[in-house]
Amino acid sequence: MRTRLAISMALATAVSVASVATAETIRATSGFGPDHPIAASIYPELSARLSEFTDGAWDLQDTPSGLVTPIAMSAALRDGTTEFGALVIPYFSAEFAEAALPSELSVVGSNSQAISAATTEYLVTCAECQAEFTENGQVYLGSGATPPYNLLTVKPIRTAADLRGVRIRTGAPLFAAFLKEQGGVVVQFPSSQLADALDRGAVAGTFDSNQDIIANDLGDLVHYVTEIGLGVYNGAATATAGRTLWDRMTPEDRAALARASQYGIAKGITEFLAGAEGARDVEGLEFIEMDDTLKAAKQSFIDEQLANAAQILESRGVTDAAAKIDRYVLLVGKWEELVSEDMASEELAQLRHDEIFAKLDMASYGR
């Protein structure tokens, strides 16, 4: 009896060891440093959920900095330098003209949970966008969205005139266009370089959401937050797989990765919002309300942006832009009805999965 029990325990141990030994680890690169929410929250949650959904067969290991910079991410995913990463679509506008449409329309809506989901559904169901990802050897699995964007500066910006001649870092053409209209000087580089640029005086501020004060450790470098609230940043395809990874996964594995990605992104959005609120507790920060000149500049820019969006997008190679804009706006409206700002991240994740990825054939998606 004892012998049979010992044999059974040994076999169970052997099966467990074999299972661990054959587990697959995805080589990921979040790319923005270890303190960024993608590295600190989104990818760890994604990995845990992927392991859960595949019974331990798959997990994900992130290299948050050093291996691949954000501006090299597209080529790195295509070439297999990394298998999974955060692709900042506006950095690669020539390769992703169609997929950049939601970024150009980030002034539509104000609920980052809804905007994130609408962006994801749009890119998943846009044939031309999917063709761009395929051509670049990538598979799109979801976008996040930040809280609304404000001016984070070393000197106070209280009026539209205060922006003239001021060097401000931006991460997307939309925010760059607003600054240029006010006479600001636009500087573009990854947020991972922001603290150094501010410390050296290379820029006088950044157009970002409040949570970046904490995420990029800017509390000692910026002293003013002008609450512009001009759109959100929805240009990061936070969950993007390389083709080499996708091809070695079964349809069931792919479905698990897509589902796990929604859990990671949803948790990240929740923490983005918490971080934005937490920035108000940072000592030494003054929060400045827009004056009438800034309010007028913002509204004029939004009106102009929406009126000219189709022409701008078509000049960049987007076909039938007006109809695509209408479809995206409808998706934002749809998701504003589906989500609420106090929705738990787990509920949001499952909703994103059910409404978008559960409806796909993972044997053919991304191919």
Write out the DSSP string of 256-314: HHHHHHHHHHHHHHHHHHHHHHHGGGSTT-EEEE--HHHHHHHHHHHHHHHHHHHHHHH
Q: What is the pLDDT of residue 214?
A: 83
Strand duo 167-170 + 185-188: pairing = parallel
Q: Over the chain, what is the mean pLDDT?
A: 91
Q: What is the pLDDT of residue 96?
A: 97
Average pLDDT estimate for 267-271: 93
Residue 19 predicted with pLDDT over 70: no
Nearest CA to 101 out of 123, 85, 116 is that of 123
pTM for this one? Answer: 0.84
Please check whether residue 50 is in contact with residue 195, taking contact to mean a CB–CB distance below 8 angstroms. Answer: no
Q: Taking the CA of residue 80 as centre, how many other CA atoms within 13 Å lie in the half-sphere pointing to its CB?
A: 6
Alpha helices by DSSP H, the chain = 2-21, 37, 43-53, 73-79, 101-104, 112-125, 127-135, 173-181, 194-200, 211-215, 243-247, 251-278, 292-315, 321-338, 345-355
Phi/psi class of residue 284: alpha, beta or left (left: φ > 0; alpha: ψ in -120 to 50)? left
Give the confidence band of 234 by pLDDT, cuts at 50, 70, 90: very high
Q: What is the pLDDT of residue 193?
A: 87
Average pLDDT estimate for 58-79: 95
Residue 169 predicted with pLDDT over 70: yes
Residue 5 predicted with pLDDT over 90: no
Q: What is the pLDDT of residue 4?
A: 52
Residues of the chain with pLDDT > 70, as a percent, come to 94
Dist CA 327 CA 325 (whole Å)? 5
Q: What is the pLDDT of residue 272?
A: 87
Higher pLDDT: 86 or 215? It is: 86
Average pLDDT estimate for 255-269: 97
Please check whether residue 101 is in contact with residue 307, taking contact to mean a CB–CB distance below 8 angstroms. Answer: no
Higher pLDDT: 11 or 196? It is: 196
Q: What is the pLDDT of residue 21?
A: 53
Q: What is the pLDDT of residue 51?
A: 98
Average pLDDT estimate for 233-246: 96
Average pLDDT estimate for 285-310: 95
DSSP state at residue 222: -
pLDDT digits 0-9 by tens, 92-124 = 989 999 999 999 999 998 899 999 999 999 999
Which residues have CB under 8 Å from 276's CB, separation 6+?
Answer: 146, 147, 209, 210, 211
Q: What is the pLDDT of residue 258?
A: 98
Burial pattern 59-86, b for ≥16 Cβ within 10 A else e, equals bbebbbbebbebebbbebbbeebbbbbb
Residue 324 predicted with pLDDT over 80: yes
Residue 6 predicted with pLDDT over 60: no
Q: What is the pLDDT of residue 66?
A: 82
Q: What is the pLDDT of residue 336?
A: 96
